[in-house]
Amino acid sequence: MLEPVPGEPAAVADCGPERALVVADYHAGLEVGLRAEGVEIRSHADERRESLLGLVTETGVDRVVFLGDLANAIGEPTGEERVELRDLLDVVTDRVPVTVTKGNHDGGVESVTDGFEDVAVVDGEGARVGDVGFCHGHTWPAETVLSAPTVCTAHEHPLVALEDEVGGRRTERVWLRGRLDPEGFPEYDHVGDRLVVCPAFNDLSGGTFVNEGDDFLSPFLPDGLADGQAYLLDGTRLGPYRTV
């Protein structure tokens, strides 16, 4: 069972043995990469960290699961990004243990996480805790993950573009929820019931415009998601994501 935190790009997963705060695509140090591309922007590291800590307190969870792309650099985090990761993990693990399911940006994240006793890192195939499977989504998950009743994935940073009656346009992060479609996983003997694609926690990270025909990034999307519905962070149901 996975319940989004109203108004926030995070959810609480009731895994049976424990409750976990699920956070996708944190992308620590993203501003460093943007500056390298010529975008002048200050670091939002403190705001991200305090927002996450507030959610840990508000939800009273037993664990934090970073659903991949905790880091932003493809290789080993350095400089400002490394400092942000250390500061984040230092304060979070003072409260609860952490699990990181590695994403495509987390290739060298162990160079930071190995210094923390209460941080567990699992590879791209993901991990299952009770009735919930967790994977980043940039590669095919393990069958034990995919066979969980609820599968929680990320990587897409799903967005919708909304227009008003006078042509104004705004972009919103969304959740995608639907049935797991076995036809999207032809090499697997069994799949679970529900698939949830999480929005990016980092609001500077861009994403896939799911209602404008953008190509999905995950190898199992969109084929693995049947009857996909889009929901705003405040819980508003927008309906089938393709026709929003």
Per 3-state DSSP, what percentage of the chain is helix, strand, and coil (rounded to 5)? 20, 30, 50
Q: Cβ distance 100 to 20 under 8 Å?
A: no
User: With left for phi above 0 and alpha for psi between -120 and 50, is residue 19 left, alpha or beta?
Assistant: beta
Q: How far apart are CA 99 and CA 97, in angstroms?
A: 7
Q: How far apart are CA 244 and CA 241, in angstroms?
A: 5
What local confidence, expressed as pLDDT, does residue 6 receive? 95
What local confidence, expressed as pLDDT, does residue 42 receive? 85
What local confidence, expressed as pLDDT, does residue 139 receive? 95
- Helical (H) or strand (E) element with 172: strand 169-180
How many CA atoms are closer than 13 Å to the CA of 84, on its beta-carbon side? 24
Dmax (CA) of the chain: 54
Q: How far apart are CA 171 and CA 185, in angstroms?
A: 31
Amino acid of residue 71: A
Instruction: Record the tokens describing residue 223, joined without a space.
Output: 């084929």
How many CA atoms are closer than 13 Å to the CA of 38, on its beta-carbon side? 0
φ/ψ of residue 19, rounded to 5:
-105, 135
Q: How many CB atoms lie within 10 A of CB 60?
A: 10
> In 60-210, which residue ranges form alpha helices assigned H by DSSP?
79-92, 110-113, 143-146
The count of residues in the chain is 244
Which residue stretches of the chain have pLDDT < 50? none
Measure Cα distances from 138 to 57, 76, 82, 170 in Å.
30, 19, 23, 27
φ/ψ of residue 117, rounded to 5:
-65, -30
Q: Which of 57, 58, 121, 59 is nearest to 91 (CA)?
A: 57
Q: Go through the domains of the chain in sequence order and give each one's CATH number.
A: 2-243 (3.60.21)
What local confidence, expressed as pLDDT, does residue 74 receive? 80
